[in-house]
Structure 1
Amino acid sequence: MATGAINVEMNIAAEDQQSMFDKSKIIARRRMPTLELIHERFCRAVRLSLFNMIRAPIEVQMHMPSVKSYEQFVSEFPERTNINIVGIRPLRGVGCWIVDPGVVYIAIDNMFGGEGRLAPRLSLREYTPTELRIIRRLVDALLNDYEKAWKAVYEIKFDFMRQETNFGFAKITSPGEMVLHSKFTIEINGRPGDVDLCIPFWVMEPIKAILYNNMQGFASEPDEHWTNLLNDQVHEAPVTAVAVLARKQMLLREITSLSVGDIIPIEINDPVTVYVDGLPVIKGQYGVKEGRYSVKVSTIQHPAEFLKSPLEKARLGPSMMRSAEKGELYEQSGEHSQSHSPIQAPKPNETDVSSDTIGQLADELDPK
């Protein structure tokens, strides 16, 4: 009986131990929403900082942060690499930034007048003093931007300690300890290279709750790159400009009494109003240029002026146009209109009323 009790206790202890290891696997698989937002802000800041330093097209891509053993992290790198040891305040511990040689050589090529088109020859040679100074500038820029990215969440500071080329001299924790691995891919002139950050997970223990917290109210900074790109694409968006030369109101019996060859008298408005996507933006004088009806621009009202008046007065959109200006004339004229002045209209012989259209309308009338 006593032996059975002892076996039960031993089995319970083994299950507890197994559950402890299962929890460590769960932690490694959990996402860190706050850290992902911090890294997104860091990528935007680094792109601008490296562009000012290297003066070349820069793209920075963030990879999902992962938790793994330090031994597994070290096995992903070659025997000799650039390792930058940094202290982390106010957290107790150290971390390391690893800069891929491809990033170093392409950055040096661009900084000294090259274009970075040739693939760098990666070798295991020692870095020269000039290369080490440029690496230090790159690392300082990374540290500065990473501190700013964390500032809205938690104040951390990185103190540069030393550079190493072998993990045997850069042991920041024991091989079995879990570490937080963050990878960023920096693309310079179309040639990518990686920058890795490794921090022991026990160092992040005081702020672990912040990392796993889903911060919905995280204040984000505007991305100037995407803002400029969106602004350029908005300016390149096509719009429809329609110059309404004349309007004619007719009764239905007058339309049905028309026959092929009849002429509908019209009077051209002066000045002519040009509607840009339904807004009366341009006014000008009607005329003919190179055999085509044209409008010489006299006044232009900026579309932003329509937003200053109340919506019930502005009536934004095509509804601002009268019903007589919305039909076939609007669609046909929009194909020939241009956004430059003078605004070209269809040729004179194209503005005659189509007899086929009138006949079709007459055929569709209900005899009753």
Structure 2
Amino acid sequence: MEQFQWPNQGAARLICKSRWQETPDCISFTLTSEEQDKTFSFIAGQFVTLGVEIDGNTEYRAYSLSSLSNQTEMQFTVKRVAGGKVSNYLNDHLQVGQSLQVLPPAGQFHIEQPHTDKILLLSAGCGITPVMSMAKTLLADSQDRTEIHFIHAATCAEQLIYHAELQQMEQLHPRFKLDIMLEDATNTDYLEGRLTQAALANYCPDIASRTAFLCGPVGFMQAMKENLAALGMDMTLFYQESFTPAESTQPEVEDTKSKAAALAHATVFVPSFGTETKIVTGSLLIDALESAKVPVIAACRSGICGSCKCKVTNGDFTRTSSETLTEQEIAEGFVLACSCQIHSDVEVSLN
């Protein structure tokens, strides 16, 4: 079968092939191409960014893939959350046969990062999706000998995403070990409580010799990172997913002279669209492009997904993220517009 070819710029339109209830508040979906015989290539652990039309506007959100690469369908799981505009819309409205915009797979959290022959996959809640893809990928390779210890935390048994599939994986593969901790373990054989440092050490006595891949809520990931460091893990072999915005590295304006400079203006010129936009120096490039009505996609607005990649061909700027850019692209002046601050007149190319 042929591989699906993503557009050079912008999003593809894919079809919802199937949907099913994973837990009371989680639904899994699969996406396929219109031809339905094209395979999708990505690295286990990466995500896609979906563009969903809601009330006349296109909203973009990133969702990790839980399926294997080079299949005709891509799978992701969406949890209903309070105030979740896109997540709740997908749960309520995305039906089989409907289409939506999808940006190419991206992200630096993936199984091809350097790792030892023993790994720990650690997750909570919907954070299970990218590490599930990693586990499937390693187990599908008959030549791979990586020992996998999968530890997952959830609130209760009915909230366990992919539960039956995980149990089957443990039964079929001697090199796959599964441990689950529930805050409420009623009617199960699992341990009850929170995943503490002591619990990690109990589950995985050789944890210090492993490579860790971590995904879950922000607070959970922070606690687990501290626990792993305290247990002696080599943190150069620690990886975690993050959809949180990059922090600005720009200094605060302190004196009058600096304030005057900060209020200076610069021009953002996009020759291919014939637009010129005046902005305050230090402003984000994405804001200038959007105000000029230039067709740039800003999906995550966090310097993570890479959808707003463009090239500054002339002028001064700083960046807070280069997450999806190669070293060559950085050297050539490519930036992520959502994480690029402008400090002089600049010329920008979107191609």
- The structure with more helix, counted as a fraction of residues: 1
Q: Same fold (TM over 0.5)?
A: no
- The structure with more strand, counted as a fraction of residues: 2
Q: Which has the higher contact order (CA 8 A, sep 6+)?
A: 1
